[in-house]
Amino acid sequence: MGVHRLEGIARRFNLEVRDFPRALDAQQRDLAESAARALSFAAEQRQPGLVQLITGLARELSLLSPLSSSDPLGEFSSAGSQLTFERSLEAIVDQIVEALLRGQIGVTQEDISPLTDRRGPPPVLPPAPPRRQEESENFFDVRFVDEVGQAISGVDADFSVDGGQTIPTNAAGVALLEDVQATSTSVAIVDTEALSKVLDPRWEKFRPGKPPKASNTQEVAFRGAALGPFPLKAALPHTIVVKPPLGKLFVELWDKTGRVLHTNCDFKITGPQNFEGTTDEAGRLLQEDVFPGDYSLSLALELSEEGAPVFVDLIDGPLLVLDSAATSPQVRFVGAARRVTMARLRRMFFETNKSFLLPGAVGALRQIRELYGENNPSELLIVGHTDTTAEPSINDPLSLERADMTAAYLLDDEEVWLKQYETSIAEKRRWGAHEDELMLSAMPDFATKPADEEDVRWFQRTRGLTVDGIAGPKTRRELIHEYMALDGTSLRERRNFDITITTHGCGENFPLGDEGEELDPAPEDEKEDASDRRVELFFFDVEFGIQPPPPGKNSAKGSTQYPLWRKKVTKLVELESSFIEGLIVEWRTELDAFVPDDLVLEASQGEKKQRLAWSDGFVDGPFRRFIFRKIIGPTPVTLLAQSESLGAELTLWREQDASLPDAPPTWEHFLEEILLEQVEERDEAEEVAEAGAELPATSDADVRPSAAGEFA
């Protein structure tokens, strides 16, 4: 290949054809654009030597077949007219300009001395071509190129004018129909075999480049059927760009278990074209105008706790190039994803100093089977907590015990629960008649018990046990068995579930804030809060296990593992209880300072009565809640407040239906009335006056409407 010289204004360009296109920097691109402008200007002015220059460049660019030296434009002038010559020359110049701009023709320049410094006469310019005589006939000009602008030659173009005429495209891809009267027509290519013969070899692999963007350009995808018809206007050049049937890569990516989407993950796609990017929030990637062929996908995944993301290959086959109109993605499964599901038990599920799962927790755990299915297989970490009302030496083992008792419940391990009744357990934490009563009241048929029959005797009679009214080992074993069955499933069903359990205690070290959602950054000591007497269930993917591993059986204050477990949660499940706990009444904790130690609340419903001391109420935020578990249903209820030290008894409600949340009971008296005497005594001692305190204005109107006097 030689060097071709192009004369410009005040400078000369040296052009050299390269085997392959090269990327151009800013300076090279400016030079290529200058040469392109000079070439276009030379073509318009028909400068001397132009035809030889264009012919030489076109041959080396494989735009032409070899031409004879005696007639370098013979191939262009085959149509036998000046117009054919001009249109063919213009087409070749356009392609040479494109080669310049994509770096396939190298360009250097030489400065030319000013005209005043040149010697000799000025060059003699050839005469301008004769002006075309105005004729009444029209012509139609259409050029066919592929997706990178390469001419499609030797293919018949069928014009619809004058009963139909066929003109083959020349080396520049131009079909020119002359001497017609019509002002519009249409053109089509119906010889699909000839078109395929030209295009199929080109489309065996992806080729970089872009088609021309001139006016009157139409693009069409060739899928093996006839192309067109395309509308044409007389005396205007038209371009038809024939493209391969481009599609799109539209993929939705899940981990190999099909449970976790790969969101915001870097990806790489290799094939006829290469792509890279990041999946969106739906775990999807979309690449449009994709050349057909086989594509491979690699996805960046975190395979270790500390390591950087590693690209993992999709091995279940190449990606499919979908039709450009497709609206649904192809779904693929690749690698493992860090998946942590946290299920938390809301509301009051443990009493102070106890590890017994209250009926409300049992009601919530009825949703556990669905969680097992969604997280099978997995490693289940059960974490127990306490509030801050005791010392760490008490709260640490208590929190672990709560986790252990929850695990035993999920495994239907009756023996673990029976041991909680043994005398080896500290008295404050030991189970007894109170826990028996809680389980009995949770039995589905408890409402059928006659009012005059003792609870234990009723259970023994209806279960075919020896009726002696004593909750011995056999009675308790059966009672625990039925209580554990209330959730409707068991992790002992190994054929259905592959879930291993680890228990852990966090003591009082991670209390929640007042909203019960996030950890309290400045926890208060000696704070009684039911939301902190909680258990959380963390389901970890088996491929990664529990990360980071638990620091032994208990977490110390300031340990980092538990906050990291919460941070890694990808799905949060609230286990809400639908269990009917009984009559719930609440007062604001502001009253605590004014209530005498012996104040008792008594609820009666027919023959049933239940008494609760003020200390039996548990604190939930700014409220103290009392649950009368024996008081169930629409039968009218009477609520009393009594204090022997004050010598007072007050009827708060009398024969009220307290089962309607939207129609709370009518208060006959308020609790403040029984406290009035005590407040006056304090006023006399000026203790309250000096502190500027007064009895809080608390009544039924101040109680939370959603909770007061309702059965929940």
Q: In what order do the strands lie in the sheet with 247-254?
A: 284-290, 247-254, 330-333
- The C-alpha atoms of residue 526 and residue 188 are separated, in whole angstroms, by 88
Work out the burial of residue 206: count CB atoms within 10 Å of its CB; fewer than 13 is exposed, 13-18 middle, 19 or more buried: middle
Residue 551 clears pLDDT 90, i.e. is over it: yes
Measure the CA–CA gap between 137 and 667, rounded to whole angstroms.
Answer: 105
Q: Cis bond leading into 201, ω under 30°? A: no
Q: What is the pLDDT of residue 580?
A: 62
Percent composition of the chain: helix, strand, coil (DSSP 3-state, to 5): 25, 25, 45
Is the bond into 551 cis (omega within 30 degrees of 0)? no
- The pLDDT value recorded for residue 577 is 62
Residue 702 has a pLDDT of 42
Q: Are 650 and 640 in contact (CB under 8 A)?
A: yes
Residue 657 phi/psi, 5-degree rounding, is: -80, 110
What's the mean per-residue pLDDT of the chain? 83
By percentage, how much of the chain surpasses pLDDT 70? Answer: 83
**What structural domains and CATH numbers belong to the chain?**
3-117 (no CATH), 138-243 (2.60.40.10), 247-333 (2.60.40), 340-575 (3.30.1330.60), 583-711 (no CATH)
Give per-residue pLDDT as tens, 521-547: 888 888 888 788 889 999 998 878 898
β-strand pairing of 340-345 with 535-540: antiparallel
Residue 54 half-sphere exposure toward CB, CA atoms < 13 A: 27
Residue 239 amino acid letter: T
- Please give the pLDDT value at position 696: 43
- CA-nearest of 533, 626, 534 to 581 is 626
Which pLDDT belongs to residue 502? 96
How is residue 541 annotated by DSSP? -
Whole-number Å distance between alpha carbons of 698 and 695: 8
- Of the candidates 604, 592, 615, the one whose C-alpha atom is nearest the C-alpha of residue 678 is 592
* DSSP-assigned letter for residue 512: B
> How much is the pLDDT for 675?
75
Phi, psi of 322 (to 5 degrees): -85, 160
Statement: residue 659 has pLDDT above 70: yes
Cα 319 vs. chain centroid, distance in angstroms? Answer: 21
Q: How does pLDDT run across 144-159, given as a tens digit for each residue?
A: 999 999 999 999 999 9
Rounded CA gap, 669 and 662, in Å?
A: 20
Question: Tell me, what's the pLDDT at 694?
Answer: 43
CB 81 within 8 Å of CB 178: yes
d(CA 277, CA 285): 8
299 compared with 677, residue with greater pLDDT:
299
Name the E strands within 465-515.
499-505
**Quick one: pLDDT band at residue 126, thresholds 50, 70, 90?**
low
Q: What is the pLDDT of residue 467?
A: 96
Is residue 124 helix, strand or coil?
coil
What are 672's two structure tokens?
Answer: 């403040």
Copy the structure tokens of residue 47.
Answer: 């400068």
β-sheet bridge partners, residue 227: 189
Give the distance between the most distant pair of CA atoms in the chain: 137
Start-end of H helices in 117-265: 192-202
Name which of 138-142, 211-215, 412-416 the model is least confident about: 211-215
Instruction: State yes or no: pLDDT of 707 exceeds 50.
Output: no
Higher-pLDDT residue of 111 and 469 is: 469
Query: So what's the pLDDT on residue 712?
Result: 31
Record the pTM: 0.52
Alpha-helical (H) ranges within 10-148 are: 26-45, 50-60, 82-101
- Looking at per-residue confidence, does 689 or 525 come out higher? 525
Burial status of residue 392 (CB atoms within 10 A of its CB: 0-12, 13-18, 19 or more): middle
Question: For 587-609, what is each residue's pLDDT tens digit?
Answer: 988 888 889 889 999 999 888 88
Element of type H or E holding 433: helix 433-441
Q: What residues have CB less than 8 Å from 585, skipping those under 6 apart?
A: 601, 625, 626, 628, 639, 703, 708, 709
- Reported as half-sphere exposure (CB side, CA atoms, 13 A), residue 203 has a value of 22
Rounded to the nearest 5°, which phi and psi values hold at 605? -140, 100
- CA separation for the pair 441, 449 (Å, rounded): 10
Query: 463-511, pLDDT tens digit by residue?
Result: 999 999 999 999 999 999 999 998 887 777 656 678 899 999 999 999 9
167-195 pLDDT, tens digit per residue, is 999 998 999 999 899 999 999 999 999 99
Answer yes or no: are the C-beta atoms of 360 and 578 closer than 8 Å: no
pLDDT of residue 494: 55
Q: What pLDDT, on the 0 to 100 scale, is given for residue 398?
A: 95
**Greater model confidence, 402 or 47:** 402
**DSSP H helices in 140-202:** 192-202
Q: Check residue 394 and give its pLDDT.
A: 92
Confidence of residue 360 (pLDDT cuts 50, 70, 90): confident
Separation in Å, CA 470 to CA 167, 389, 414, 460:
109, 34, 19, 9
CB-based burial of residue 353 (10 Å sphere; 0-12 exposed, 13-18 middle, 19+ buried)?
Answer: middle
List the structure tokens of 196. 């395929």
Question: Which pLDDT value is given to residue 220?
Answer: 93
The answer to whether 659 and 603 are in contact (CB under 8 A) is no
| 242 and 222 Cβ atoms separated by less than 8 Å | yes
Q: How many residues does the chain have?
A: 712
pLDDT score of 680: 56
- Please give the residue that has the higher pLDDT: either 328 or 496: 328
- Asked whether residue 82 carries a pLDDT value surpassing 50, the answer given is no
The confidence score (pLDDT) of residue 333 equals 87
583: confidence class by pLDDT, cuts 50, 70, 90 = confident
Which tokens is 177 given? 């129909």
Residues 347, 534: Cα–Cα separation, whole Å: 9
